[in-house]
Structure 1
C-alpha cells in the first residue's frame, strides 16, 4: 500500500525531486519556493521543510534541478517568463539558505522551459523562449553558478533559412540525451506549442564540434503531422539498445519513436514511429522515464497519472493508471 510522505500546501503548482530522490522542491502560485529534505535516518520516507521563501512575483510553473556535480541548485521558471537560478548556501552555523545567483529572461523575452546537460566536462543550459528562439548557455566556472556565457542562439527549424512572421509560443518542452556525459558532445530534443508550424514538431539537435555549431539531425513527425503543436517530450535512458527511444506528446496523442544511431550521408539520423498511444482525456502536460528507460509516466489535463510499457514483442500498452485522491 502506498504511504503518504508529504502533504503540500494549497496553491502548490509544481514540484520536482532531485537526482537522488532525497529532496523535493515545490513552487506555489504566489511565487514561493519550498525545499523539503528527507528526515534522519536516511532510510526514513518522511520529509521536513528546510527552506521556504518567495522568489518570484508570479506563479512558479516549473522547477528543474541542476546536475548534482555542480552542487545543490534549482532553476525556477515563473509564469511571466523569468528563470531564477538558486543555489544552496551554508554559512558557518547559520540556517540553510537558498539564494538567487542568476536570472534569465524578461517580460518581453519570456523563457518557457530550461534543461541542463553535461558534455565535454562542462555544464550546458538550453532555454526555449516565447519568440521561438533557443539559447544555449555554458557555465564558465564549475564553482560559480552565476557565470554563464551564451554559446549559441537559433530557432527550432530544419532549414537554415525560413520565412515566417513573428512567432508566438505558448509553451515548449526540452529533453537532453541522458547518455551525454563528460566525453560526449551534447544532443537534446525540443518541441514548441506555437502559431508557427515550422517551429513546432520535435527535433533533435546535436553539437557539431568540427564546425562549432548546433545542427538538427532528426525530426520526429510523420509527413502529415509536421507542424503539429508539441506539448511535451521525453528522451529515455539507454541501457544497451542499438537505438534511442523518445516520447512526443501532441494533440493527436502520445507517440513513441525509435531514433537510430548511425547518420546517413546528409548527417540525419533515421527515425521510426513505433506506437501512438491514447488514454489521456485532453493534452499531456508532463512525461518522465524511469531509470531503465522501459517505463514512461505521463500526466495531463485529465488529472490522471498513466504508466506505459512495451511487451516482449515491442507492442506498447498502458500498464497502470492512477487517479489522485482528494
Structure 2
C-alpha cells in the first residue's frame, strides 16, 4: 500500500520541486502560492496571494540564488519571489519583481543559468517569447527585457494570428565559457509553423536571438508540441532532446559544433506511442540516460536506449486505483 506523503489543499493545480527535493511549491486557481516543507512532513508552511488570476506555472530559480520562485498567470503577469529570514520561524516570502508587459496569458516560464548571467524566458499564448535578464546577481529585483520575438523562422509567418493552448521551453545547460545561451521553444496552437519546436540561440555578434534549427522531418506535417525536455549531458558528443506531441514522444540527436557557424544537425532516432492520449510531462534522470513520460492515461513510463542505440520501454508505473 502506497503511503501518502503530501496532501495538497483544494485549488492547487500546478507544482514544482526545488533542486534538492526537500520543498515543493504549488500554484492555485485563486492566485495563491503554497510552500510544502519536508521538516514539517510536507505540511503547508507558507501561503500568500501572489496574483489576482489563476497561476499557470511556477518554477524554482537556480540554487545559487537562494530560494527563489517565479510564477506566471492567465492575466499576462509574471512575478518573482524570494524567501527572506534566517530560520523557518522568521522566514517570509517577499516580492522581488513583477513583469507585466502584456495582457496575453503566459503559458510557460523557465530560468536559464547561462555563463552570461541568469535569464528568464516566457512563452505567451499569441506565439511570442520574451527573454528577461538579471542585471545584478546580488539584486533579484533588477531585471530588464532583453528581447521579444515570435516562434517563427520566416517574416511572412508573423502576420498570422496565433492562439495557443500550451507552450513548452527547455534550456540547454551551460558547459563552457564560450557557449551562447540556447533554448528550445514549441507551442500547441492553431498554426503549424508556430508549433514546430525550434532551437533559439543568442548571437553575441548581432546581439539578437536567432532560430538555428527546427524539429521537423521533411515531408511530414507539423505537430503540436505538448512538452519538451533537454537531457543533461555528461560527456556525449551530441545532445538528446525529447519532444511530446499529438503523434507521440520523439527522441532527437542534436549535433552542435560551437567552433563553426553551421546549423545544428538534427536526427530523429525514436518515436514512442506507448501512452494512450496526450503526454504532458517529460523528465530526464541526472545522467540523461533514462526518460520518464506521463500523461492523461494515468501511467508513468520509463525509456532507455540499449547498447545498439535502440530505445525501449523498460518500466510502466500504473495507479493502483
TM-score, normalized by the shorter chain, greater than 0.5: yes
**Contact 1:31/1:54 (CA < 8 Å) preserved in 2?**
yes
CA distance in 2, matches of 1:93, 1:72: 12
Taking structure 1 as reference, are residues 105 and 129 closer, same or farther at Cα in structure 2, changes over 3 Å only? farther
CA distance in 2, matches of 1:268, 1:248: 20
Q: Tell me, which stretches of 5 or more residues in structure 1 are unaligned?
A: 41-45
Instruction: Show CA shifts across 1:87-142 (max 9, x none).
Output: 11227996321122222346732211111112234101111111111111110111
Give the secondary structure class of the aligned counterpart of 2:223.
Answer: coil
**Contact 1:77/1:113 (CA < 8 Å) preserved in 2?**
yes
CA distance in 1, matches of 2:159, 2:4: 50
The correspondence for 2:118, drawn from 114, 120, 123, is 123
**Contact 2:56/2:108 (CA < 8 Å) preserved in 1?**
no
Does 2:96 correspond to 1:101? yes
Name the structure 2 match of 1:69: 64
The correspondence for 1:59, drawn from 54, 71, 82, is 54
Deviates further, 200-209 or 309-318: 309-318
Taking structure 1 as reference, are residues 131 and 264 closer, same or farther at Cα in structure 2, changes over 3 Å only? farther
**Contact 1:13/1:59 (CA < 8 Å) preserved in 2?**
no
Q: TM-score, normalised by structure 2?
A: 0.91
Q: TM-score, normalised by structure 1?
A: 0.90
**Contact 2:183/2:200 (CA < 8 Å) preserved in 1?**
yes
CA distance in 1, matches of 2:24, 2:272: 30
Residue 294 of structure 1 and its aligned partner are, at CA, apart by: 0.8
The correspondence for 1:83, drawn from 70, 78, 86, is 78
Does 2:282 correspond to 1:280? no
- Report matched runs for 1:1-326 at 5 Å: 4-39=4-39, 46-90=41-85, 95-105=90-100, 108-162=103-157, 164-180=159-175, 184-262=179-257, 267-325=262-320
**Contact 1:121/1:183 (CA < 8 Å) preserved in 2?**
no
Residue 51 of structure 1 and its aligned partner are, at CA, apart by: 0.9
CA distance in 2, matches of 1:87, 1:290: 27
Deviates further, 132-141 or 55-64: 55-64
| Number of residue equivalences | 321
**Contact 1:105/1:111 (CA < 8 Å) preserved in 2?**
no
Q: Tell me, which stretches of 5 or more residues in structure 2 are unaligned?
A: none
Taking structure 1 as reference, are residues 184 and 325 closer, same or farther at Cα in structure 2, changes over 3 Å only? same
CA distance in 2, matches of 1:221, 1:103: 36
**Contact 2:79/2:99 (CA < 8 Å) preserved in 1?**
yes
Deviates further, 161-170 or 122-131: 161-170
**Contact 1:205/1:215 (CA < 8 Å) preserved in 2?**
yes
Give the secondary structure class of the aligned counterpart of 2:157.
Answer: coil
Residue 146 of structure 1 and its aligned partner are, at CA, apart by: 1.9
